[in-house]
């Protein structure tokens, strides 16, 4: 299996790149943010539990997030691999994922981090908030909170996989096509 963690701050282009990677490598894309937005649409009990965190830009509880992720993976037992986008978001989630994958006889193949400076991230998130009407993308305080959480809680995940030489960092500034080529270059180097 090829299990890729697509990593980077909110607004770094993970979703856009994941959609292109799915086509080229035939992987299953799972975005935990999208899973939560799906819960929101149906105003499910899960959404009612996590709304207070998500609307403030904080992380939802690990146990609920992991349960949602596993339920989504269960839908594709024949997947040749996954692109995880927005997960893991802290070291505890990374450790749970490692244990889970090990039990399944697989592992994280690679973490690719898109490096984008704060200023650019804020610009992109704010414009996405206007287009998509996402509450957590529109309020400046919430946006800043999400960036801070990325730095304090999420960034250490890249270090976690760096220790086993699985982290690759690439420049996340450029056209969609340029960044896609950079990602493919890294992926092709490990898959051939
Ligand atoms: P995203 O679309 O990935 O930016 O996710 C939107 C929001 O969903 C985040 O700001 C968090 O509140 C929540 N969320 C998404 N993924 C996770 C995760 N792995 N752990 C905890 N909360 C998450």
- Whether residue 6 is contained in a domain is answered as yes
Q: 19-34: per-residue pLDDT in tens?
A: 999 999 999 999 999 9
What is the residue with the minimal CA distance to atom 12 of ligand 1? Answer: 54
Q: Which atom of ligand 1 is nearest the CA belonging to 14?
A: 3
Structural domain contains residue 128:
no
Domain membership of residue 11 (yes or no) is yes
pTM value is 0.94
Is residue 46, in this structure, part of any structural domain at all?
A: yes
Is residue 56 situated within a structural domain? yes
Q: How far apart are the C-alpha atoms of 175 and 133, rounded to whole Å?
A: 24
Pocket test of ligand 1: the residue of 86, 122, 149, 153 to mutate, having most ligand atoms within 8 Å of its CB, is 86
Question: Where does ligand 1 bind, in terms of residues with CB under 6 Å?
Answer: 10, 32-33, 36, 53-54, 57-60, 65, 86-87, 89, 93, 136, 146
Inform me whether the pLDDT recorded for 58 exceeds 90: yes
Q: Which domain holds residue 76?
A: 2-117+155-191
Residue 137 has pLDDT above 60, yes or no: yes
The CATH number of whichever domain residue 24 belongs to comes to: 3.40.50.300
Give pLDDT, residue 192: 57
DSSP conformation letters of 136-149: HHH-HHHHHHHHHH
Q: Mean pLDDT across the chain, nearest whole number? A: 95
- Domains in the chain: how many in total? 1
Q: State the distance from the centre of ligand 1 to the C-alpha of 60, rounded, in angstroms.
A: 7
In a domain, 149, yes or no: no
What are 143-187's pLDDT values in tens digits?
A: 999 999 999 999 999 999 999 999 999 999 999 999 999 999 999
Q: Considering the domain boundaries, does residue 33 fall inside one?
A: yes
110 contacts 190 by C-beta, under 8 angstroms: yes
Q: What is the pLDDT of residues 87-100, one digit of tens each?
A: 999 999 999 999 99
Inside any domain, residue 129: no
């Amino acid at each position: 299996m090829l299990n890729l963690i697509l990593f980077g701050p909110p607004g770094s282009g993970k979703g856009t790149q994941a959609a292109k990677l799915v086509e080229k490598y035939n992987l299953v894309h799972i975005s935990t943010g999208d899973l939560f937005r799906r819960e929101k649409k149906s105003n499910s009990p899960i959404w009612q539990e996590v709304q207070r965190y998500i609307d403030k830009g904080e992380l939802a509880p690990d146990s609920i997030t992991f349960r949602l992720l596993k339920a989504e993976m269960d839908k594709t037992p024949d997947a040749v691999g996954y692109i995880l986008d927005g997960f893991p978001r802290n070291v505890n989630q990374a450790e749970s994922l490692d244990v889970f994958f090990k039990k399944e006889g697989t592992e994280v193949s690679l973490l690719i981090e898109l490096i984008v400076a704060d200023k650019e991230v804020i610009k992109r998130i704010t414009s996405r908030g206007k287009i998509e009407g996402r509450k957590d993308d529109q309020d400046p305080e919430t946006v800043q909170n999400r960036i801070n959480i990325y730095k304090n809680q999420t960034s250490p995940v890249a270090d976690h996989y760096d220790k086993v030489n699985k982290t690759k960092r690439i420049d996340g500034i450029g056209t969609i096509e340029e960044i896609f080529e950079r990602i493919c270059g890294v992926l092709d180097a490990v898959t051939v």
